[in-house]
Amino acid sequence: MKSVIKIRKLAVMVFIFIVAISLVACSLSNPGDKISEEDNSPSPANQELQKITFVLDWTPNTNHTGIYVAQSKGFFKEQGLDVEIIQPSELTSDTLVASGTAQFGVSYQESVTFARAQDVPVVSVAAVIQHNTSGFASLKEKNILSPKDFEGKTYGGWGSPIEEATIKYLMDQAGADFSKVNILTTGDADFFQISESGQVDFAWIFEGWDGVAAKLRGIELNYIDLGKEAPVFDYYTPVIITSETMINNNEEVVKAFMKAAVKGYEFAIENPEEAAEIFIEAVPELDKELIIESQKFLAEHYQAEAPYWGMQKEEVWRNYSDWLFENGFIEKNIDVTKAYTNKYVEK
């Protein structure tokens, strides 16, 4: 998804999280009032609903379907919640959640790691997709079948040092020479346009979005699955986040929200086409065929082999945190056990 482009602009992110540190002391607005145990049951029609803000990571896409399902099906209302879904502006979802401007949001494991390394207390409460479904794609005629084939090619990306480090790591593992790759910053340019024009040879995409779009357009791609190529890169992207303040002071709200979210994603897993229709109704400007096919793809990947949707593993958090630290992207390593929790999704 295009969300990859925005969140991982490392230099901007560092500044934003410094801003977040100054904001995080702010108290929450309406959600500061706790939901009682009684409120956690289905709400009577005359009960005033708790207003909650949920911030996306980018424009709406099928990573978010479970939230839209929960909203449309009344799962949030059953939990006594009135959820408003918003998009971020110049601030990231992590910043908005850390400051209390939003109570929940969509982020990424690497983004949460950056935040925790700067003492910004955001917490991942669910993995939206069990495995990293992003990777490096190229038109089939480019014959890029492995990181070894990156030599002599031009990569188009969003200009983050993490991209270069990731490519270098993969090439080093394959015995290839990273210095032979031309790195071009293309920002949020359309993958198909810059590939077919010859501007770039390969780029970083989400299989469930551009990969599905390529099939619908009849375009053959070679795809290098990042998580399968190197286990350290099989991290959680995206995740649902909240703040330590919410967990410590408003845990019943967290329980209620996540109960509805789990129900929404389980519905999307079991009923991908109906879930796609719900999402399309909420965001009608998007490509209907792409949404349906993307939803079918993700229905098999949201939970994958995990015993329940949303589960996160300590080793996945630790492996990528160690890699970020060893490569100098964070100045101190984090306590990964505080960066995530399965408490609100586990069966």
Which CATH fold topology does 3-131+236-339 show? D-Maltodextrin-Binding Protein; domain 2 (3.40.190)
For 23-80, list the strands marked E by DSSP.
Answer: 50-55
CATH number for the region 134-233 comes to 3.40.190.10
Q: Could you give the residue range(s) of every CATH 3.40.190.10 domain in the chain?
A: 3-131+236-339, 134-233
What lies within 8 Å, CB to CB, of 201 at 6+ separation is 138, 142, 144, 153, 154, 155, 195
3-state secondary structure 108-142: CHHHHHHHHHCCCCEEEEEECCCCCCEEEEEEHHH
Per-residue pLDDT of the chain (347 residues; tens, 9 = 90+): 543 444 344 433 443 444 444 443 333 334 444 433 334 444 445 579 999 999 999 899 999 999 999 999 999 999 999 999 999 888 899 999 999 999 999 999 999 999 999 999 999 999 999 999 999 999 999 999 999 999 999 999 988 899 999 999 999 999 999 999 999 999 989 999 999 999 999 999 999 999 999 999 999 999 999 999 999 999 999 999 999 999 999 999 999 999 999 999 999 999 999 999 999 999 999 999 999 999 999 999 999 999 999 999 999 999 999 999 999 999 999 999 999 999 999 98
d(CA 63, CA 106): 9
State the pTM of this model: 0.87
